[in-house]
Amino acid sequence: MPERAATHGDTVTCPAYNAINLLQEKWVLHIVRSLLEGPRGFNELSRAIGGCNTATLAQRLDRLETLRIIKKTVCSVMPPKTSYELTPVGVELESVVQAIDRWARKHLAPEPGPRARHAGVRAGS
């Protein structure tokens, strides 16, 4: 019997609903996208995604680790070094990130910077 789409009452048990809830959390897709480039330390990851405070980043990383989307490795050196990388489950999200990127490039034109906006106004004057 083929699976049916979840109705409003089924949302709690619907896998797509649960996946969307996870992926819509602020910074989650930024973390995944950054880790698609390879393993990163906490500070390197923080700089790569930009704008996320360290407490939120740590919380998101813990959640992604619990869900087995990322793997955390702690090297016992002084000072301790922590590295994060995608698991095979996390790597499967690459196609999701690529699909979002393709859609955004097609439908969301980059906003012009202040110079471009002002140059356009002067040119039309």
DSSP, collapsed to helix, strand or coil, labels residue 51 as coil
Amino acid at 121: V
Q: At what angle do helices 28-35 and 54-66 cross, to 10 degrees?
A: 70
Question: Which conformational region is residue 27 in: left (phi greater than 0), alpha (psi within -120 to 50 degrees), or beta?
Answer: left
pLDDT at 90: 96
**20-34, 61-75, 88-102, 105-119: least confident range:** 105-119
Q: Identify the bridge partners of residue 53 per DSSP, sorted by sequence position.
A: none
- With residues binned 3-state (H G I as helix, E B as strand, rest as coil), the percentages for the chain, rounded to 5, are 60, 10, 30
pLDDT of 56 higher than 70: yes
Task: Decide if 67 contacts 60 (C-beta within 8 A).
Answer: no
Domains of the chain in start order, with CATH, are 10-107 (1.10.10.10)
pLDDT of 46 higher than 70: yes
Q: Residue 9, Cα to own-chain centre: how many angstroms?
A: 28
Q: Residue 33, Cα to own-chain centre: how many angstroms?
A: 5
The tens digit of pLDDT for each residue in 59-85 reads 999 999 999 999 999 988 888 889 999
The continuous run of DSSP H or E covering 28 comes out as helix 28-35
